[in-house]
Amino acid sequence: MKREQAFRHRLQTLEALHEAVGAMRSLSAHHFRLARKALPAAREYRKATESIVAEVGIRPPLHVDGATGLLVVASDLGLCGDYNTRISELAVSEANQFHAATIYSVGRRARAVLQRHGFVPERVYDSPASLSGLPQLLLELAQNILDDYSERRIHTLRVVSAAFEGVGHFQPLSIQVLPIDPVTSMPPLPPSPYVDADHLVASAIREFLYITLYEVLLDAVAAEHGMRLMAAESAMEWLENTSSTTARRLAGVRSEASTQELLDIVAGGRRIDEDP
């Protein structure tokens, strides 16, 4: 009886886990589709912004006396394979190589790894679980970076994040976002009577930073949910196999119990027949 109860309880637990993982899989698939759908437009807009910067001939100021800033984009949630581990490893390597002084950390999963290696994030942000959380994060993150850059607390910004390559596939990537590479292939435009040159440079840098960070965050959301979708699929397969095995073992225990009851009845009947 105790074995039967144990197997029944385990089967109920597996069924509950199956429902929870199934809900997570559906949610991840929904967010993954939205992020993947938004990526092409973001990439096209970023390319257009780069073209405008090149045509205008913007030469942003170089702050050689500042420090390197490092933006690390990880996640808050687990069940996404080695996503956070690979991002954290690259972040530590980049922080060591470029002597990062100011670290902006999106998602709490990478912070513990950074802290273990002596890199304490100065600014921390919650990782968005969906596209609806991106605008607020982007505004706060970009403004903080622009403030630090304009006040010369950083002279370079590097970003460590995930480059989406398909469902269950991504590549940890490190890119330099600031300063914008100066354009030397064409002479600067003559001064405009309508727009101040410094204002034009500041606006271009801001727009370039916004769309670049937006593309980075979109890539990260797509990669994270793609990894979580694969992990959920594997978990669902394991739960289904384990449930099937448990159900067979439960049926075997019930069959043994029924056989034992039948034997007890037969043995009892024989004793009655043998009594004088």
Q: What phi, psi does 66 have (nearest 5°)?
A: -95, -170
Q: Which two tokens stand for residue 72?
A: 């690390």
pLDDT for position 168: 82
Mean pLDDT over the full length of the chain? 82
pLDDT-derived band of residue 202, with 50, 70 and 90 as boundaries? confident
8 Å CB contact between 102 and 145: no
According to DSSP, the residues that pair with 73 across neighbouring strands are 106
- Mean pLDDT across the stretch 44-65? 70
Confidence check: pLDDT of 62 > 60: no
- Mean pLDDT across the stretch 112-124? 91
pTM of the model: 0.78
pLDDT for position 120: 92
State how far the Cα of 37 lies from the Cα of 40, in Å rounded to an integer: 7
Confidence check: pLDDT of 218 > 80: yes
State how far the Cα of 110 lies from the Cα of 107, in Å rounded to an integer: 7
Longest dimension (CA), the chain: 125
- CATH code of 24-228, in short, is 3.40.1380.10
Confidence check: pLDDT of 125 > 80: yes
CA 236, 237, 239: angle at the middle one, nearest 5? 65
Which of 172 and 78 is assigned the larger pLDDT?
Answer: 172
Query: Over the stretch 162-188, which tens digit does the pLDDT of each residue have?
Result: 998 888 889 999 999 988 776 555 565
pLDDT for position 97: 93
Lowest mean pLDDT across 75-89, 199-213, 254-268: 254-268
8 Å CB contact between 100 and 158: yes
Beta strand pairing call for 169-178 and 154-166: antiparallel
What is the full DSSP assignment across 72-84? Answer: EE--S---STTHH
pLDDT for position 55: 67
Nearest to 170 by CA among 229, 124, 125, 119: 229
- Mean pLDDT across the stretch 115-120? 92
pLDDT-derived band of residue 103, with 50, 70 and 90 as boundaries? very high
Domain boundaries, the chain: 2-20+231-274, 24-228
How many helices and strands, by DSSP H and E, does the chain display?
5, 5
State how far the Cα of 243 lies from the Cα of 67, in Å rounded to an integer: 55
Amino acid at 224: E
Which of 91 and 76 is assigned the larger pLDDT?
Answer: 91
Query: Over the stretch 130-161, which tens digit does the pLDDT of each residue have?
Result: 888 899 999 999 999 999 988 888 989 999 99
8 Å CB contact between 179 and 62: yes
